[in-house]
Structure 1
């Protein structure tokens, strides 16, 4: 697989285009890249020309100059399509890629033939007792940590605290991408769901712990022409955990 480069706004993105036929655009999830969605690329029906790119700040693409929102990532998609002269296509998005597509499909319904959302984000998690205990424990620990280091620069102390105790996604990001993560992590896109009119396939892992199954049911209830397929025993990367079933479902829906 050989990646090409394309300048989208002020960011150099890596991308691939494979095959001939109708355009099919596939978006990867947060912290991922083209390589992570190659199983989806490989199972696409032969009638499609497949496009995929490393989103700004991921894979072999450049980091953006400023922190981006989910809406900004959607604008990158629009610009990529313009540069590649793609007026209308079928779209598949995993996780954060699905979140980005939920905005795009609502804003540009005339440009979407069919839509596939796989373990997509965009629904704010339920605030359970466990969640509040975790949050308050985190805040308590942060308070103790800063008091024990009261004689040091507060900004530097907090930076080290979050690097040590923050989420995996936070710890794995740095600089502008860490600011981007903080910006997008709590952005919901549920306000767009009822504006999506394209036939939509929802594919979810039964044991997805990143975007749990109840989130899929929010998508299904709000997107008018949608159907949900749950892959038994699969997790957040359901398309890898049960590849044979996923491939069969995708081929059936897209054909």
Structure 2
């Protein structure tokens, strides 16, 4: 199904029946990448899953959005579908949007499940700073007329070497959006989350390191943290049975 929100064509689907649960995918994914989890949740809930703008079958924003704009769209989506007091479940970027919606009370969230959620910007390692400044220097040199042709390919090659996989894959406005959202830090919003919150994290997550989950556990008043040993950024795929068990217990 499709609905037009803020002049964007948003793809969504409703699974199951019962209490409403909004499912928000992570960066680079449509909801169809989470069907195994969604179908399990749909046994007990009315799951409303949507493709965020720029992913799946939803059209991308025309300008470089931040999390605030994504959250405003989801809030409007919930109003249009008359979704009241939903459970919010989000992975990665979807988790960041869900926590923003809840903290700012844009949606009257009943319970919150954050899976390897973005939201806390951790300090970069010294090696990361070195790579970042080297890239900026190379890019600035490539703007000089005498060096432009010579360095153009080197800039692209270095970008592909040091940039994250998400950054390399993103094109146009979505690359600008990625840069903006990864540089946001929402730790000041976390104390405002007053609903029961389940944090699910992979021990080996390098995209949203476990340190971020541990900080969220300390700051969110009613948070519980479950860590999946040896799992990365997709704990729901690493051990789907245990993941579903943890979510079921929390939502029961």
- Matched with 2:218 is 221
Structure 1 distance, partners of 2:21, 2:4, is 20
Structure 2 distance, partners of 1:97, 1:51, is 13
> Are residues 219 and 210 of structure 1, via their aligned partners in 2, closer, same or farther at CA, if it must alter by over 3 Å?
same
> Are residues 224 and 41 of structure 1, via their aligned partners in 2, closer, same or farther at CA, if it must alter by over 3 Å?
same
SS in structure 2 of the partner of residue 14 of structure 1: strand
Cα distance, 1:151 vs structure 2: 4.6
Query: RMSD of the TM alignment (CA)?
Result: 2.4
Q: Would you say 1:246 and 2:236 are equivalent positions?
A: no
- Residues 138, 155 of structure 2: 8 Å contact kept: no
Q: Would you say 1:180 and 2:145 are equivalent positions?
A: no
Q: Would you say 1:15 and 2:37 are equivalent positions?
A: no
Q: Structure 1 stretch 106-115 or stretch 26-35: which is displaced more?
A: 106-115
- Matched with 1:130 is 127
TM-score w.r.t. the length of structure 1 is 0.90
Cα distance, 1:37 vs structure 2: 1.8
Deviations for 1:119-150, whole angstroms, at most 9, x for unmatched residues? 00111122222322332343354456556962
Q: Would you say 1:35 and 2:22 are equivalent positions?
A: no
Q: Which of 84, 100, 105 pairs up with 1:103?
A: 100
Structure 2 distance, partners of 1:167, 1:241, is 21
TM-score w.r.t. the length of structure 2 is 0.91
Q: Which of 67, 76, 79 pairs up with 1:79?
A: 76
Cα distance, 1:190 vs structure 2: 1.3
Structure 1 distance, partners of 2:76, 2:116, is 25
- Matched with 1:69 is 66
Structure 2 distance, partners of 1:23, 1:91, is 9
Cα distance, 1:244 vs structure 2: 1.2
Cα distance, 1:110 vs structure 2: 7.0
Deviations for 1:36-59, whole angstroms, at most 9, x for unmatched residues? 222321221633100010000111
- Matched with 1:208 is 205
Q: Structure 1 stretch 141-150 or stretch 20-29: which is displaced more?
A: 141-150
SS in structure 2 of the partner of residue 252 of structure 1: helix
> Are residues 102 and 78 of structure 1, via their aligned partners in 2, closer, same or farther at CA, if it must alter by over 3 Å?
same
Question: Runs in 1 of length 4+ with deviation above 4 angstroms?
Answer: 143-149, 151-154, 156-163
- Residues 139, 155 of structure 2: 8 Å contact kept: no
- Gaps in structure 1 of 5+ consecutive residues: none
- Residues 45, 254 of structure 1: 8 Å contact kept: no
